Amino acid sequence: MTAPMANTCGRLEAAWEVLRQIPDPEVPVISLAELGIVRDLRETAGGLEVVLTPTYSGCPATELIQDNVRAALTAFGEIQITMQRAPAWTTDWISEEGRAKLKAYGIVPPGLTHLTEGQPIRFVRRGASARLACPHCGSENTEKTSAFGSTPCKALYRCLACLEPFEHFKTI
């Protein structure tokens, strides 16, 4: 491998490292890289091109995310952000580490219905209506209290067993 190539790899790796530190504006425990919305990173003549796929269309955080990415990568030169809408983001792109962080935060990660330790994690088909298990006590006796939680991307639930509210990142 030639020296310039090695430098390129080092630069991109350093930029990825920065992206792994940028929190998602809506769920700050998870980074943009863990959320899986950073699809690609390329070197350009004057800096970097970052390819992002927005999570939910109409999610108000999208613009904020672009601003945050630009601000965090200023040391890398001119940052060009390309929004790539196809293929559409799916909750499958959230990394394992990201899912674990969502769980620790008390949010049922998308696509999962059960989070209780020791229980198999069950995935639900997209669009299927499934009963969510409470992330606090594991009870399936839960109800949706609002289609919108703290943000339009999350729905609010309540556990009828322990009475704790919880949020679910909508599965798409």
Within 13 Å, how many C-alpha atoms sit on residue 39's CB side? Answer: 15
For residue 7, the minimal CB distance to Zn ion (Å) is: 52
Asked if 162 touches Zn ion (CB under 5 A), the answer is yes
Two tokens at 150? Answer: 């703290």
Q: Which is nearer to Zn ion, 59 or 137 (CB)?
A: 137
Q: Name the phi and psi angles at 158, rounded to 5.
A: -140, 140
Asked if 159 touches Zn ion (CB under 5 A), the answer is yes
Asked if 136 touches Zn ion (CB under 5 A), the answer is yes
User: Could you say which of 84, 90, 95, 139 contacts Zn ion (CB under 5 A)?
Assistant: 139
Stretch touching Zn ion by CB under 5 A, among 48-56, 84-92, 124-132, 162-170 = 162-170
For residue 28, the minimal CB distance to Zn ion (Å) is: 24
Asked if 160 touches Zn ion (CB under 5 A), the answer is no
Asked if 83 touches Zn ion (CB under 5 A), the answer is no
Task: List, in sequence order, the alpha helices (H) in the chain.
Answer: 3-19, 32-35, 61-72, 96-104
8-state DSSP, 83? E
Give dist(CA 154, CA 161) in Å, integer. Answer: 21
Residues 6+ apart with CB under 8 A from 130: 113, 124
For residue 98, the minimal CB distance to Zn ion (Å) is: 23
Asked if 134 touches Zn ion (CB under 5 A), the answer is yes
Stretch touching Zn ion by CB under 5 A, among 28-36, 44-52, 72-80, 136-144 = 136-144
Asked if 30 touches Zn ion (CB under 5 A), the answer is no
Please report, as ranges, the residues that interact with Zn ion according to CB under 5 A.
134, 136-137, 139, 159, 161-162
